[in-house]
């Protein structure tokens, strides 16, 4: 990994401190968290519950602002950006896959997938064409006019992946994308994430508890008490106790 | 995004129906209650509507249109001589007992019109001619009065019905015959029973014993003379009280007889209070129901708005989406509610009970209230969405 030039770094955090509340109730979620992911990589963040995975992911996504440290995503420093600039940054460069899918139940599958494009201000017809194209890729052609709730969990997560990728973001952020799915469906979903996001200009960060999908990772960063304990290339190198 | 906002709103038919029902119900309640209230209150100045004079002149002590204090007949000459008066006609109003053919007594409102000009005569007659009042012992009664004073008959099926009085029927006032020569259409009054029109001179006989029968004088200004300015002059010259006949009770014109009557009843009777509490209750329930339904709609969508926010939608876009939803729902609910109120009101007007007057002000005030409620709910929603940390969308 050290052979890669600095230029190929997609995500880098240095010395991130993040606490919630203060005084008696102060909770330290991250302390001096250093994390790196390269272009073209799929990196997983693993660790025990409460170790700060979601918090770190939120910092990388620019939805949480840390108290200390630097965040750099595709050459753009996020620390120091205002809310509006962060919002614009997310709109342009980020795709999200959530654990609970977060599809809007009153909109059709197609409309759900169009949302990121419409947020960017794309024309209705352009957004529709692009959404159809990506729904085809995730194998949901023919279901685009139905409601998300009429689909199975796996199908809903495929819609979510289509929505996360429709605007071709540089960074794809997934928090527990398979935890609401059974084993086989989870594997299919990860396969799809990997296939669709493999590109030298893209980086995927996946937070997960699900050891069954570790094999899809290029590297795995293991967290403990708000910091990255170590990074391994192969799941078999992880301590069994942390799985 | 606005199309999406609307699709979000219309996407769930059941929830939309609930939301619209809540908004429509409250709009209905608000419009209905206030319209009935103002309907009843507008009955207080019925005389102003029915008599249709430009200017009314009364005793200085008179406070409202249903309160007649007799004037001297010579006052008529004094008013006629005021600069700017084209003509002035006498008007008598009083409550008297009428004896029906079956021997029963009914309280009626007797109105005496100037036989030369018929100033103050009803606008429409459904039977007969106004000129026939010049014949001896003749009267014109209003449709509702004809019904009230009608003769009860028992039909073959045992049901009792009332046969309304018609042209040619007679009754007695003060032992004097009153023969009906016409039936007129006039607005109902808050006080008083059937309207019985006769000539001013004949009221002296019908109200035996009354020395002075001049209740009001109806004045027409000369062309180009401002009514309100003429009122000032009449008051200055005669010491009497002069009123304009505009029925805009919202206008703060102190000259308006209708307005003064309306507010006199407002201040001096329990009606506004008893009905006012019903109206206030309607408003309160309406605001609570529509606010609650819309707010729960916003809450339900909160997590999706949080997701949209995480995906990079600015608060401006989200605020506008919420406002589009709120105002669309508000307008639809308002339309339904006020439509229903109108339909119910129409049905009521047919029956004449209770009265229903939807002033344009009620329409606009209801619209403003419903939209205000939608706006407040939307603003609360906007504040809620702006407070949710975009990061929370990651937490199931
Ligand atoms: N908004 C918040 N307010 C207060 N404390 C918070 C908040 N978010 C996170 N925390 C705390 O920060 C710590 C890290 O939380 P985080 O959600 O990042 O953990 P996690 O590794 O994602 O856990 P899990 O595997 O259960 O999802 C926890 O102790 C949590 O209670
Ligand atoms: Mg988590």
Query: Is the pLDDT reported for residue B191 higher than 70?
Result: no
Which of B261, B143, B252 lies closest to B194, judged by CA? B143
> B282 vs B42, which has greater pLDDT?
B42
Has residue A4 been placed in a domain?
no
Integer Cα distance of B24 and B370 in angstroms: 9
**pLDDT tens profile B145-165:** 998 888 888 888 888 888 899
- pLDDT for A240 equals 57
- CATH code for the domain in which residue A90 is found: 3.40.50.300
What is the pLDDT averaged over residues A222-236?
Answer: 89
Has residue A51 been placed in a domain?
yes
Q: What total number of domains does chain A contain?
A: 1
Chain B: residue whose CA lies nearest to A91 = B312
> B324 vs B279, which has greater pLDDT?
B324
Measured CA to CA in angstroms, residue B191 lies from B42, B172, B272, B332, B336 at distances of 11, 21, 15, 39, 35
Low-confidence winner among A13-22, A117-126, B273-282 (lowest mean pLDDT)? B273-282
**What residues does each domain of chain B span?**
2-42+271-394, 50-246
ipTM surpasses 0.95:
no
Integer Cα distance of B60 and B75 in angstroms: 12
- pLDDT for B158 equals 83
Atom of ligand 1 nearest to the CA of A52: 18
Query: Is the pLDDT reported for residue A2 higher than 70?
Result: no
Has residue A2 been placed in a domain?
no
**N-term to C-term CA, chain A:** 24
Regarding the beta carbon of A50 and ligand 1, being less than 6 Å apart is answered yes
Has residue A242 been placed in a domain?
no
Has residue A148 been placed in a domain?
yes
pLDDT over 70 percentage in chain B: 97
Q: Name the band, by pLDDT with cuts 50, 70 and 90, for residue B57.
A: very high
Has residue A52 been placed in a domain?
yes
Domain residues for the domain of A95 are 9-21+29-236
Q: Which residues 46-65 on chain A approach chain B with CB closer than 8 angstroms?
A: 54-55, 57-58, 61, 63-64
CA dihedral B145, B148, B149, B153 (to 10 degrees): 140
Low-confidence winner among A47-56, B87-96, B215-224, B275-284 (lowest mean pLDDT)? B275-284
Integer Cα distance of A2 and B163 in angstroms: 108
Q: Chain A: nearest CA to B7, how far in angstroms?
A: 6
Residue B266 buriedness (CB in 10 A; 0-12 / 13-18 / 19+): middle
Q: Name the band, by pLDDT with cuts 50, 70 and 90, for residue B272.
A: confident
Has residue A1 been placed in a domain?
no
Integer Cα distance of B20 and B294 in angstroms: 9
Query: Is the pLDDT reported for residue A229 higher than 80?
Result: yes
∠ CA(B322), CA(B324), CA(B301), 5° rounding?
A: 30
Q: Atom 29 of ligand 1 has which residue's CA nearest to it? A: A50
Has residue A82 been placed in a domain?
yes
- The DSSP secondary-structure symbol of B368 reads H
For residue B146, count other CB atoms closer than 10 A to its CB.
23
**pLDDT tens profile A135-185:** 998 888 899 999 999 999 889 999 999 999 999 999 999 998 888 888 888
Regarding the beta carbon of A66 and ligand 1, being less than 6 Å apart is answered no
């Amino acid at each position: 990994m050290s052979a890669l030039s600095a230029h190929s770094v997609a995500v880098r955090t240095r010395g991130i401190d993040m606490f919630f509340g203060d005084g008696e109730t102060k909770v330290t979620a991250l302390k001096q968290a250093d994390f790196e992911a390269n272009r073209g990589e799929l990196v997983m963040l693993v660790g025990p519950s409460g170790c700060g995975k979601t918090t770190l992911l939120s910092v990388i996504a620019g939805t949480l602002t840390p108290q200390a440290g630097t965040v750099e995503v595709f050459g753009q420093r996020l620390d120091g950006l205002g809310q509006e600039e962060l919002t614009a940054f997310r709109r342009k460069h980020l795709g999200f896959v959530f654990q609970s899918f977060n599809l809007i139940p009153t909109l059709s599958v197609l409309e759900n997938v169009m949302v990121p494009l419409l947020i960017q201000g794309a024309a209705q017809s352009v957004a529709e064409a692009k959404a159809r194209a990506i729904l085809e890729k995730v194998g949901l052609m023919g279901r685009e006019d139905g409601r998300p709730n009429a689909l199975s969990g796996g199908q809903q997560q495929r819609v979510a992946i289509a929505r996360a990728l429709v605007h071709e973001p540089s960074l794809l952020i997934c928090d527990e994308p398979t935890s609401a799915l059974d084993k086989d469906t989870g594997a299919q979903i990860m396969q799809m994430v990997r296939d669709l996001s493999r590109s030298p200009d893209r980086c995927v960060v996946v937070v997960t508890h699900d050891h069954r999908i570790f094999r899809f990772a290029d590297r795995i960063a293991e967290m403990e008490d708000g910091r990255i304990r170590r990074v391994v290339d192969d799941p078999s190198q992880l301590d069994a106790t942390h799985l | 995004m606005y199309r999406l906002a609307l699709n979000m709103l219309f996407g769930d038919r059941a929830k939309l129906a609930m939301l619209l029902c809540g908004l429509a119900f409250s709009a209905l309640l608000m419009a209905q209650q206030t319209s009935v209230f103002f309907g009843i209150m507008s009955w207080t100045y019925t005389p102003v509507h029915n008599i249709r004079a430009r200017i009314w002149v009364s005793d200085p002590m008179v406070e409202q249109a249903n309160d007649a204090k007799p004037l001297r007949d010579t006052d008529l000459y004094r008013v006629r001589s005021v600069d700017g008066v084209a003509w002035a006609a006498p008007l008598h109003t009083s409550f008297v007992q009428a004896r029906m053919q079956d021997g029963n007594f009914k309280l009626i409102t007797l109105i005496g019109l100037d036989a030369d000009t018929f100033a103050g005569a009803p606008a429409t007659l459904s039977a007969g001619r106004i000129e026939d009042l010049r014949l001896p012992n003749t009267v014109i009664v209003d449709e509702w009065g004809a019904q009230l004073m009608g003769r009860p008959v028992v039909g073959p099926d045992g049901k009792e019905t009332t046969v309304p009085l018609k042209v040619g029927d007679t009754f007695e006032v003060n032992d004097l015959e009153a023969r009906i020569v016409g039936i007129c259409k006039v607005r109902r009054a808050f006080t008083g029973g059937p309207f019985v029109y006769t000539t001013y001179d004949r009221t002296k006989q019908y109200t035996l014993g009354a020395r002075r029968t001049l209740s009001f004088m109806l004045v027409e200004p000369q062309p180009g003379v401002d009514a309100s300015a003429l009122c000032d002059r009449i008051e200055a010259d005669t010491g009497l009280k002069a009123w304009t006949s505009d029925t805009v009770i919202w206008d703060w014109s102190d000259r308006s007889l209708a307005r003064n009557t309306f507010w006199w009843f407002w201040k001096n009777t329990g009606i506004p209070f008893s009905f006012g509490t019903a109206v206030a209750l309607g408003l309160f329930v309406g605001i609570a129901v529509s606010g609650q339904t819309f707010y729960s709609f916003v809450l339900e969508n909160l997590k999706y708005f949080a997701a949209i926010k995480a995906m990079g939608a600015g608060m401006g876009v989200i605020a506008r989406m919420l406002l589009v939803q709120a105002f669309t729902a508000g307008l639809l609910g308002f339309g339904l509610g006020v439509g229903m109120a109108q339909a119910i009101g129409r049905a009521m007007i047919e029956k004449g009970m209770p009265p229903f007057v939807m002033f344009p002000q009620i329409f606009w005030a209801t619209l403003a209230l419903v939209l205000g409620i939608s706006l407040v709910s939307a603003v609360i929603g906007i504040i809620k969405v702006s407070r949710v940390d975009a990061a929370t969308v990651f937490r199931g």
